[in-house]
Structure formats: C-alpha cells, structure tokens
Structure 1
Amino acid sequence: MRRRRPEKREILPDPVYGDLIVAKFINNLMKQGKKSLAEKIFYQSIDKIKKQGKVDDGIELFKKALENVAPVLEVKSKRIGGATYQVPIEISEARRMALAMRWIIGYSKSRKGQTMADRLAAELLAAANNDGSAVKKKEDTHRMAEANKA
C-alpha cells in the first residue's frame, strides 16, 4: 500500500470550450493515449446534437446529462462480525462526476449505432432527457442504497 495519497494531477481545460469537465470527459473517452481521436469523437457528437436542432448550446446539454446521471448514494461492502453488509454511503462530487462520465461512455459503447460519435450523441441526448441506460444505472444504484438503509 502507499504511504500517503498521491497529489492530484492538474489537468488543463480543453482547447475548444475551455472547460475542465469537458477535458476530464475527453480523457475518460481516450483509449491507448489517442487523445486527438477522443477529442474528435467528443466534438463531433456535440456538433451532431446541435445539428439536430434540439438545443443551441451542446455543452449545456452535456452538463445536464452528466448531472442527471451522477449518483448521490452508493453501497459499499462492510464486514461486521463475520457478516458482510451493503452499507449506503454518500458520494463526493469528484466521484459523482467520475462515475457519471464512466457510465455515459460505457453505455455509449454498448449502444447500437454507426460511429462512436453517433452513439455518444444519442446517449447524451437520452441522459439529458432523463432516460437511457446510464440514467437507469443511476436509478438502480439509488434503489440498492434505499433497500439497504438500516
């Protein structure tokens, strides 16, 4: 185990919108160090959302989708006297955003569609409208936490 917690790495805001959350999302989307490809996919999906005419500002929709997917509670296994209990705990803001990003990207990949940009755009639109697989995952997580309140 580590002796101490490593210091947080400073990430630079993304070049187009100048936003740290967008930069973090792009970093999560990146595979095998191909950041330019991840940026291309993200910006294309935001453009697709804008072209559909549903919203003027794609980044506002992106942030709304993240907020709709971000969980407030989760369950953690705790061993008490030989029995393992699922204990609901509140999640920090950083973990909420990290989980929301991970879920949106994960469910975008498993969606049926042509390109990753199309699938990401579809998942972001669904999440902003409070439906889609990522929102369902959040509701399941909350349901588990509610069921295990003691």
Structure 2
Amino acid sequence: MSRRSITKKRYPKRDAKYDSTLVSLFITRILRNGKKTLANSIVLDTFDAIETQTNTNPIQVFETSIKNVIPLVEVKARRIGGSTYQVPLEVNQYRGTNLALKWIITAAKARAGRTIAEKLANEIMDASNGVGSAMKKRQETHRMAEANKAFAHLRY
C-alpha cells in the first residue's frame, strides 16, 4: 500500500452533444469491448426515443431518473469473530450515481423489447416516474439496510 498522497479521482469529460458529465458516465457504463462509438450511438438513440415519447428535454428526464434511483444507504458484508454481518453504510454521491447507472442498465437489459436503446429509454422513463426494476432494486437495498440497522455500530 502506498504511503504517498491519495490519488485524485478522475472525472470524465463532458459529453460533446449534451455537455453533461452524467451522460459521459452513462456512455462509459454502456461501453463494451472498447466500442465507444457504438455506446455513444446507443445513448443518442435512447435520448431520441425519450424525446419523441415524452416531448420534453431527455437530459431532464435522465437526471430525474438518476436522482430517483440513487440509494442513500447500502449494506456491506463485514466479518467479525467468525460471523459475517451486513453493515449498513451511507453512500457517497459518486458511488450512488454509479450504482444508479448500473442498476438502470441491468434492469434495461433484463427487459423485453427490441433494441437496447428502446429498453434503456423505457427504463429511464419508468425510473423518472418512480417505478421500474431499478427503483425496486433501490427499495430492496434500503430495506436490507433498515433490517440490519442493529449492526450500524460495526461500520468501518
């Protein structure tokens, strides 16, 4: 383990079309096998689908969906004296955003539909309305943290 200063977190550059770091984070989350142009076109198709279905700014819908899905707490396994406890911990904003993006993408992949862009658009719109699989995952995480609140004193 290094004894030098802690490395600074590298934040992504803003997206070219929408001028948003959140969109560029989303693109890198969708990215597979280094094909960033494909990931970029998927995100653009997703936002076009959102715009045609809702007649509003797709970035606003996307941001509200992310804000709705971001968890406040999560549980982490901690081993103490031979037994493992699920310890609830607060989630910082960067991790919360990444978790929300991850949950939205996995929920969209599990959905029935034609293209991934349509699935993502439907999941984002559902999350902005407070429903959908990603919101269910958030509520499940909060329920787990609430159930294990007794072990909160064991946090790191």
TM over 0.5, yes or no? yes
- 8 Å contact kept, 1:78–1:84: yes
One-letter amino acid matched to 2:58 = G
Number of the residue aligned with 1:97: 97
Number of the residue aligned with 1:49: 50
SS in 1 for 2:87: strand
Alignment of 1:1-150 (within 5 A): 2-3=1-2, 6-52=7-53, 54-150=54-150
Deviation at 1:9, TM superposition (A): 2.6
RMSD: 1.3
Q: How does the TM-score come out when normalised to structure 2? A: 0.90
Which consecutive segments of 4 or more residues in structure 1 shift more than 6 A?
Answer: none
Q: How does the TM-score come out when normalised to structure 1? A: 0.93
One-letter amino acid matched to 1:87 = V
Alignment coverage as a number of residue pairs? 148
Q: Distance in 2 between matches of 1:33 and 1:7?
A: 24
Q: Which runs of 5+ in 2 are unaligned?
A: 151-156
Q: Which runs of 5+ in 1 are unaligned?
A: none
Q: Distance in 2 between matches of 1:51 and 1:97?
A: 26
Q: Deviations over 1:19-51 (max 9, x none)?
A: 111101111011111111111111111111111
Deviation at 1:77, TM superposition (A): 1.2
